[in-house]
């Protein structure tokens, strides 16, 4: 062990502060080019060990003249002599945790760092054991999500902790958000920590999706057929893709409430006055009938009189009417739905199933916002009731529910976050066992208040400054993490920080998509069985 | 203590101070090479010095040699036809004191007392050079000494000499170079000059 540490020695701490991180001077035996931001190091202080992350690598010279008149480094001898003496590399290390040597700290595990190691403490590359000590190993609550850079150690997320708060997955398009989400959902299914409701805009989570290379990738229902129900808005699309669906969602006009329209103001291009008019119409005709009646209004004196009575301006009416027509064109909306999708979803959730709602062809944001909001609002009120009942009657609390939404900035932007149910859930629903899994590529579009409530953030590469700032707002060691974040590789790498991990961590995402990888999630005979079932179904 | 007969006796101290000593060679022109490690004894101490200069002059300061070779066929002939010359000339070398040994311990700093006049001076053998060069603390004395020969030349000559006893010369020189790079961090030109002289 000591021998190993000797070999992995990087350098010594030469200066620094808790706030700004430590400067580590590299030994001449350690090459700057072998370093990488995001890698872990341990620092051997006198009393305790520190665990930190490399956040910057820089070059130093002992004498500024060297930069003006560089020596003849074409001579290997001179180059070798100068390396590590006159010219040297420095690392910027952000200390994150301390690992005490005494018995108490062994039980309590790593603690957040509150001081810095003393001068000239030795800095080593963190060993597998160190990383394991910090992130724990896979067990019934912890799910293996990936490995740290250049290491084989498993980084595990504590899913039980994770689902206690709302979480976010961010990243530019094409950086692997979908894969990460799939992994997390599988983790939650595997560990059974929460029920999931996924609003699956691009139909990727329920049944087969495709990787960027065009390879088919299995999704939840193929891996856990007994635990997942696929609901669809677009039966045809599902059938074409040979998805075995459990329920076709049809929504009646009577389900749409004025608040739902308010939320669609931007996407339907409605004016503020139109939204007000909706409330007036709803008051006039009743919450359940107003859309049907409004859509049925014909141009004529009667309508004009009605509008005058409600003091709705003609242009406002036209504006609203145009918006409602857009909604009416959505094929899954019927004047009267044969079944109540919310009830069904709740039934499934109550049975311990996880529900994926596929949108099929209806990937436009109007449909997504309308449906997601409508369903979630009702589920939210149900959960609220149950939770209150559970508290009042001292019975078992409802199982935690995680609602996954994509394109989250459309729901949670500052203009609508205060009105939508998702804003409410993000802010307070933790208490009612409902949390969000927010997936987005423009986190800067999400309301600050909501962002600040997100417990664990998993972010792939982001390169827009605003997005990076909004993701990292309020995190200690922000500027350091910023440099790490903007240098992630564009695929299969993510930075995780927040509630569910003891310290920010850059991971190489766990392999997902090969036959081998599926085996790790479930026993192999189950894979065969599921596929066979499906084949039979379509014969 | 090592047997003195095993090492080569090269001269006798004729002038000594705390920082250096001058020795006369027993044979004309037989002074040790520039930069080599020599030692003299002043029991219980052994003083180590680095040869920083050598000179061959007339025995009498006022009497300069004159050219004698006009009629001779070769240089050797001059000495053969005037054998007294060997007695009228002398070779001397100066060494900078860089450390001492007391008992079994080596110290890379100045001894409490200067060398004794008429102390014998020996050229250190390979094992002793190796032992002495385990530490580069003596480089500091070399660099800071004010000598007629330039510091760069002396340091380079010394390291070249020492490196000869090592199998891996280059590794030794790189380590020494790194030490110099730290010592001469404020004097890049000097460092460059020395490195240029030892890289070969």
Verify whether the Cβ–Cβ distance A77 to B174 is below 8 Å: yes
DSSP B11-52: EEEEEE-SSEEEEEESSTT-PPPTT-EEEEEETTEEEEEEEE
pLDDT at A73: 76
pLDDT at A411: 77
Range from A125-134, A275-284, A287-296, B163-172 that averages highest in pLDDT? B163-172
Euclidean distance between CA atoms B134 and A201, whole angstroms:
71
Q: Name the more confident of A516 and A21.
A: A21
Say which residues have a Cβ less than 8 Å from residue A2's Cβ, sequence separation at least 6.
none
Verify whether the Cβ–Cβ distance A81 to B182 is below 8 Å: no
Neighbours of A403 (CB within 10 A): 25
Helix (H) or strand (E) holding A65: helix A65-68
pLDDT at B111: 92
pLDDT at A97: 87
Contacting residues of A for B188, CB less than 8 Å apart: 63, 65-66, 69, 71, 86
Neighbours of A99 (CB within 10 A): 18
Which residue of chain A comes nearest to B172, CA vs CA?
A81
pLDDT at A141: 79
- The domain tally of chain B equals 1
CA distance B79 to chain A (A): 45
- Give yes or no for a contact between A182 and A220, defined as CB atoms under 8 angstroms apart: yes
By C-alpha distance, which of A499, A344, A356, A346 is closest to A430? A499
* Mean pLDDT computed over A224-242: 83
* Mean pLDDT computed over A368-395: 84
Euclidean distance between CA atoms A214 and A204, whole angstroms:
13
Residue for token digits 């200069």? Answer: B53
- A174 is written with which tokens? 């094409």
Give the range among A93-97, A324-328, B47-51 with minimum mean pLDDT. A324-328
Kindly state whether B168 is in contact with chain A, defined as any CB-CB distance less than 8 angstroms.
no
- Give yes or no for a contact between A366 and A240, defined as CB atoms under 8 angstroms apart: no
pLDDT category, A349, cuts 50, 70, 90?
confident
* Mean pLDDT computed over A332-349: 83
Strand-pairing partners, residue A347, are none
DSSP A375-397: HHHHHHHHHHHHHHHHHHHT-PP
DSSP A335-366: SS-SS-HHHHHHHHHHTT-EEEEE-TT--SHH
Q: Each residue of A147-196: pLDDT tens digit?
A: 887 777 888 888 888 888 888 999 888 888 888 888 888 888 888 778 88
Q: Each residue of A120-156: pLDDT tens digit?
A: 999 998 888 888 888 877 887 788 888 887 777 888 8
Say which residues have a Cβ less than 8 Å from residue A454's Cβ, sequence separation at least 6.
A165, A166, A167, A168, A426, A438, A498
* Annotation: CATH topology of A161-250+339-533: Rossmann fold (3.40.50)
Contacting residues of B for A82, CB less than 8 Å apart: 181
pLDDT at B145 over 90: no
- A55 is written with which tokens? 């956040």
Closest Cβ opposite residue B177 in set A62, A65, A81: A81
Verify whether the Cβ–Cβ distance A81 to B170 is below 8 Å: no
Range from A208-217, A262-271, A439-448 that averages highest in pLDDT? A439-448
Closest Cβ opposite residue A81 in set B178, B186, B188: B178
pLDDT at A432 over 90: no
Euclidean distance between CA atoms B169 and B156, whole angstroms:
14
pLDDT at B49 over 70: yes
pLDDT at A6 over 50: no
**Burial readout B148-185 (b: 16 or more C-beta within 10 A, e: otherwise):** ebebbbbbbbbbbbbbebbeeeeebbbbbbbbbbebbe
pLDDT at A212: 67
- Give yes or no for a contact between A9 and A43, defined as CB atoms under 8 angstroms apart: no
pLDDT at B159: 92
Q: Each residue of A473-510: pLDDT tens digit?
A: 878 778 878 888 888 888 888 998 888 888 888 888 88
pLDDT at B52: 94
Kindly state whether B173 is in contact with chain A, defined as any CB-CB distance less than 8 angstroms.
yes
CA distance A86 to chain B (A): 6
Q: Name the more confident of A431 and A177.
A: A177
Strand-pairing partners, residue A196, are A402
pLDDT at B92 over 90: yes
pLDDT at A529: 55
Residue for token digits 């390291």? Answer: B159
pLDDT at A333 over 60: yes
Kindly state whether B174 is in contact with chain A, defined as any CB-CB distance less than 8 angstroms.
yes
Length of chain B as a residue count: 200
Q: Name the more confident of B73 and A516.
A: B73
Which residue of chain A comes nearest to B179, CA vs CA?
A85
Length of chain A as a residue count: 539
Verify whether the Cβ–Cβ distance A66 to B178 is below 8 Å: no
CA A16 to chain CA centroid, Å, is 33
Cis peptide leading into residue A151 (ω within 30°): no
Q: Helix or strand or coil: residue A219?
A: coil
Q: What is the mean pLDDT of chain A?
A: 82
Q: What are phi and psi of B197, to 5 degrees?
A: -90, -15
- Give yes or no for a contact between A488 and A494, defined as CB atoms under 8 angstroms apart: yes
> ipTM value of the model?
0.78
Kindly state whether B95 is in contact with chain A, defined as any CB-CB distance less than 8 angstroms.
no
pLDDT at A539: 47
Q: Each residue of B107-132: pLDDT tens digit?
A: 999 999 999 999 999 999 999 999 99
Cα R_g (chain A), whole angstroms:
28
**Strands, E, within B74-143: which ranges?**
89-102, 105-107, 120-123
User: Residue B54 carries which DSSP code?
Assistant: E
Q: Name the more confident of A74 and A456.
A: A456
pLDDT at A330 over 50: yes
Kindly state whether B10 is in contact with chain A, defined as any CB-CB distance less than 8 angstroms.
no
Q: Each residue of A50-71: pLDDT tens digit?
A: 988 888 899 988 888 888 888 7
Q: How many CA atoms lie within 13 A of B62 on its CB side?
A: 0
- A78 is written with which tokens? 């001179």
pLDDT at A103: 65
Q: Name the more confident of A368 and A429.
A: A368
Q: What is the mean pLDDT of chain B?
A: 88
Q: Helix or strand or coil: residue A486?
A: coil
Range from A37-41, A51-55, A104-108, B32-36 that averages highest in pLDDT? B32-36
- A255 is written with which tokens? 């389900």
Q: pTM to 2 decimals?
A: 0.71
CA distance B117 to chain A (A): 41
Euclidean distance between CA atoms B112 and A367, whole angstroms:
94
Closest Cβ opposite residue B195 in set A28, A66, A81: A81
Euclidean distance between CA atoms A77 and B170, whole angstroms:
8
pLDDT at B6: 56
> What is the phi-psi region of residue A487: left when phi exceeds 0, alpha when psi lies from -120 to 50, beta otherwise?
alpha
Contacting residues of B for A66, CB less than 8 Å apart: 188
Percentage of residues of chain A with pLDDT beyond 70: 92
Strand ordering across the sheet containing A155-158: A155-158, A142-148, A505-509, A493-498, A454-459, A166-170, A434-440, A401-405, A195-200, A354-358, A228-232, A247-248
pLDDT at B50: 94
Mode of pairing for the β-strands spanning A354-358 and A333-334:
unpaired
- B43 is written with which tokens? 């029991």
Euclidean distance between CA atoms B111 and B39, whole angstroms:
12
Contacting residues of A for B182, CB less than 8 Å apart: 62, 85
Question: What domain range includes position B39?
Answer: 4-198
pLDDT category, A527, cuts 50, 70, 90?
low
**Strands, E, within A204-312: which ranges?**
209-210, 216-217, 228-232, 247-248, 251-252
């Amino acid at each position: 062990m000591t021998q190993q540490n000797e070999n992995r020695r990087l350098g010594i701490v030469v200066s620094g502060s808790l706030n700004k991180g430590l400067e580590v001077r590299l030994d001449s035996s350690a090459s700057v080019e072998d370093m990488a931001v995001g890698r872990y190091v341990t620092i051997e202080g006198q009393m305790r060990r520190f665990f930190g992350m490399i956040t910057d690598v820089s070059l130093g010279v002992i004498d500024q003249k060297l930069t003006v008149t560089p020596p003849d480094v074409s001579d290997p001898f001179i180059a070798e002599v100068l390396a590590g003496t006159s010219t040297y590399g420095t690392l910027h290390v952000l200390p994150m945790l301390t690992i005490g040597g005494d018995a108490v700290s062994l039980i309590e595990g790593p603690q957040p760092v509150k001081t810095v190691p003393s001068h000239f403490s030795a800095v080593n590359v963190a060993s597998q054991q160190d990383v394991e000590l910090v992130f724990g190993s896979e067990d019934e609550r912890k799910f293996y999500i990936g490995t740290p850079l250049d290491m084989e150690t498993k980084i595990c997320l504590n899913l039980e902790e994770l689902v206690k708060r709302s979480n976010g997955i961010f990243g530019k398009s094409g950086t692997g958000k979908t894969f990460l989400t799939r992994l997390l959902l599988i983790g939650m299914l595997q560990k059974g920590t929460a029920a999931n409701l996924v609003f699956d805009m691009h139909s990727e989570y329920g049944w087969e999706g495709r990787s960027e290379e065009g390879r088919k990738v299995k999704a939840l229902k193929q891996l856990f057929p007994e635990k997942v129900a696929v609901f669809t808005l677009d039966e045809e699309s599902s059938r074409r893709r040979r998805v075995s669906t459990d329920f076709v969602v049809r929504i009646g006009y009577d389900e749409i409430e004025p608040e739902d329209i308010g939320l669609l103001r931007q996407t339907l291009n409605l004016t503020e006055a139109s939204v007000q008019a909706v409330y007036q119409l709803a008051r006039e005709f009743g919450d359940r009938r107003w859309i049907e009646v409004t859509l049925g209004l014909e141009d004529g004196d009667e309508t004009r009189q009605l509008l005058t009575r409600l003091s709705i301006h003609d242009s406002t009416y036209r504006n609203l009417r145009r918006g409602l027509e857009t909604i009416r064109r959505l094929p899954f909306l019927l004047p009267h739905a044969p079944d109540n999708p919310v009830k069904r979803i709740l039934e499934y959730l109550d049975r311990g199933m996880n529900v994926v709602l596929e949108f099929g062809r209806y990937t436009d944001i109007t449909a997504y916002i309308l449906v997601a909001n409508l369903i979630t609002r009702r589920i939210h009120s149900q959960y609220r009731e149950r939770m209150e009942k559970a508290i009042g009657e001292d019975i078992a609390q409802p199982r935690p529910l995680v609602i996954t939404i994509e394109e989250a900035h459309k729901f949670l932007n500052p203009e609508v976050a205060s009105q939508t149910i998702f804003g409410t859930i993000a802010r307070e629903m933790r208490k009612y066992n409902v949390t969000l899994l927010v997936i987005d590529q423009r986190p800067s579009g999400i309301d600050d208040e909501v962002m600040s409530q997100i417990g664990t953030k998993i972010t792939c590469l982001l390169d827009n400054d605003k997005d990076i700032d909004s993701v990292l707002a309020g995190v200690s060691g922000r500027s350091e993490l910023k440099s790490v974040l903007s240098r992630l590789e564009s695929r299969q790498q993510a930075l995780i920080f927040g509630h569910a991990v003891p310290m920010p961590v850059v991971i190489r995402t766990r392999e997902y998509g090969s036959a081998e990888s599926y085996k790790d999630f479930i026993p192999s005979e189950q894979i065969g069985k599921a596929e066979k079932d499906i084949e039979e179904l379509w014969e | 203590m090592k047997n003195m007969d095993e090492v080569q006796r090269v001269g006798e101290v004729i002038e000594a101070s705390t920082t250096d000593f001058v020795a006369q060679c027993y044979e004309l022109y037989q002074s040790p090479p520039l930069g080599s490690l020599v030692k003299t004894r002043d029991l219980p101490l052994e003083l180590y010095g680095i040869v920083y200069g050598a000179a061959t002059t007339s025995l009498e300061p006022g009497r300069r040699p004159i050219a004698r070779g006009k009629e001779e066929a070769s240089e050797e002939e001059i000495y053969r036809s005037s054998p007294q010359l060997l007695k009228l000339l002398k070779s001397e070398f100066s060494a900078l004191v860089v450390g001492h040994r007391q008992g079994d311990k080596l110290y890379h700093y100045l001894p409490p007392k200067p060398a004794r006049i008429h102390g014998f001076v020996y050229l250190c053998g390979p094992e002793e050079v190796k032992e002495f060069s385990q530490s580069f603390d003596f480089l500091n004395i070399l660099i800071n000494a004010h000598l007629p020969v330039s510091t760069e030349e002396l340091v380079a000559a010394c390291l070249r000499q020492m490196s000869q006893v090592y199998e891996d010369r280059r590794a030794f020189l790189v380590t020494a170079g790194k030490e110099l790079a730290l010592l001469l961090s404020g004097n890049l030109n000097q460092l460059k000059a020395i490195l240029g002289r030892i890289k070969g």
